[in-house]
Amino acid sequence: MSALRQKMIADLQLRNYSPHTIEAYVRCVAAFARHFRQSPDQLGPDHIREYQIFLVRQKKASWALFIQTVCALRFFYHTTLGRKEMIDYIPYPRQEKRLPIVLSQAEVASLLQATNNLKHRTILTTIYAAGLRVSEVANLRPAEIDSRRQVIVVRQGKGHKDRLVMLSPHLLELLRQYWKAYRPPLWLFPGDDPHRPIRARSIHRICRRVGAAAGLTKTVTPHVLRHSFATHLLEAGTDLRTIQLLMGHRSLKTTTLYLHVSAQALCSTASPLDRLCHQQSGESG
């Protein structure tokens, strides 16, 4: 490992970035350096612009990867290299505003019934039942399932914050079946190495496979299940502040996104066309 990489990792650790974020940032900066076959501390504004154009036009990088690369390069130049003037050359682009994909309750039911693999079904059910992020479900420990209080303790979620989420009685029963079958000693959902948690990419792969087996036309990811959790709560009458706390959102503004995807809220609002037609009908009568 180069001294520059070690310094960046140390800088990230000192600022309490999560291991997942550290790995992602280092990977982004390494990809940037590989593209030009030079050490990143030898690259400047023109290289950054050229690389961003490459990500958009040639690689067709996802919005998430593009933003992650911007964040990684900003941290690398500003903090690790101390070149604060470089921040002006790595601006955040205007964010695309897209509504999240949401499964209906019938689609969620089909998904959860589409696999006979107890571990896979338990992972997917836990994400949906508690609205967990993929990193949060991957890093759950058995002791964090508090059956007496009927809660799941989420340790150090996004923003390094602990929070409590509800423990569904149906999920608890499934978790007990899973526990009897697997007896996980350290992590609730271990990976191939029982001493390490399941990898996020493995959970994404499970979602894709089970979604295909269920015959769903929508893309199924852990985040889609999380979005579905929040939307279904809203449609059931749960207030936004409670949903914000359950989701672990720092801002209520983030939670209000689900107002735009709630089918129940949309359908209960009458179109002005209906009122117009009703008035015309009354006048003609």
User: CB–CB of 61/31 below 8 Å?
Assistant: no
Q: Which of 163, 226, 227, 232 is catalytic?
A: 226
- Distance, in Å, from the CA atom of 161 to the CA atom of 158, rounded to the nearest integer, reads 6
User: CB–CB of 165/246 below 8 Å?
Assistant: yes
Residue type, 99: L
133 among known catalytic residues: yes
Q: Which of 28, 42, 49, 55 is nearest to 83 (CA)?
A: 42
For 47, 134, 216, the CA distances from 221, given in Å and listed in that order, are 34, 9, 12
Beta strands in 140-185 (DSSP E): 145-146, 151-157, 161-166
37 among known catalytic residues: no
249 among known catalytic residues: yes
Length of the chain: 285
- Distance, in Å, from the CA atom of 49 to the CA atom of 151, rounded to the nearest integer, reads 47
Q: Which of 7, 83, 158, 204 is catalytic?
A: 158
Q: Which of 74, 120, 121, 133 is catalytic?
A: 133
- Who contacts 185 (Cβ-Cβ below 8 Å, separation ≥6)? 194
Q: Which of 204, 209, 218, 223 is catalytic?
A: 223
H/E run at residue 48: helix 45-53
226 among known catalytic residues: yes
Q: Which residues does the annotation mark as catalytic? A: 133, 158, 223, 226, 249, 258
